[in-house]
Amino acid sequence: MFLPFFWMISTSLKSPLEALRMPPTWIPSVLRFDNYVEVFRHINLLRYLLNTIFVTLTSLTGILITGLMAAYAFARFRFPGREALFMFFLALMMIPLPVYLVPSYMILFKLGWIDTYAAMIVPWIVNIFAIFLLRQHIRQLPQDLFDAARIDGCSRLWMLIRIVIPLCKAPIVTVAVFNAVASWNSFFWPLIVTNSDSIRPLQVGLAYFSREQSTNYALLMAATTMAILPLVVLFFFAQKQIVQSQVRTGLKE
């Protein structure tokens, strides 16, 4: 698992000729850190990074808000058809992306959202897996906590803020990491709904860059390293919460 990352970083520090040398060398003869500077000269990498960060944070905020509210409702509210509606949502997860790709594009086209940030954010602010994972955890919280809060006069919204969110930190972090990675690595949908270079996210920008620099593997690996590094750092700091969430919820009733 470590070997591909090491090879990627090693290649990013080689000269273009050394990156193509056969047999390949694991350690560069001269460390070419200027490859990373060269990447910024060839593509608008900083703009791509800022676009990706904005889309990721905005969509993640929407996912957490809608996910927590829906999960809280499915776990603690009693209303007719609750279980049937939840099963229906789970069934939607089995529908592959190509099925609703064209209808989603047509809706965005009618709204005039093509080539806008909204096209990359709004369709993904409701995540069924996030609702499922958070619901499983909320169902395991003691009912006595909610009864005591209700006696003290707390509203449902206040119970969500003061009880559910503090006790669901591990699954919230898990949802945040999974969806941040998915949004950061998203390629196919942004490729369809964006046309302008100024609005492209990182993965789409790297795809165009790889087409232009198809033989310069050193620059390609340098750009790829900068694209992957934030995700590696994020997972490193959040891995404890991810493990705790999987252990506590068990992904089952």
pLDDT in tens, 202-228: 899 888 887 776 667 788 888 888 888
Strands (E), 123-229: none
**3-state DSSP helix/strand/coil percent for the chain, to nearest 5?**
75, 0, 25
Q: Distance between CA atoms of 121 and 244, rounded to whole angstroms? A: 29
Q: Is the dihedral of CA 87, 66, 110, 104 positive or negative?
A: negative
pLDDT tens digit sequence for 39-73? 888 888 889 999 999 999 999 999 999 999 999 99
Domains and CATH numbers, the chain: 2-14+44-249 (1.10.3720.10)
Q: Distance between CA atoms of 250 and 244, rounded to whole angstroms? A: 10
Q: What is the largest CA-CA distance in the chain?
A: 74
Q: Distance between CA atoms of 183 and 179, rounded to whole angstroms? A: 6
DSSP annotation of 128: H
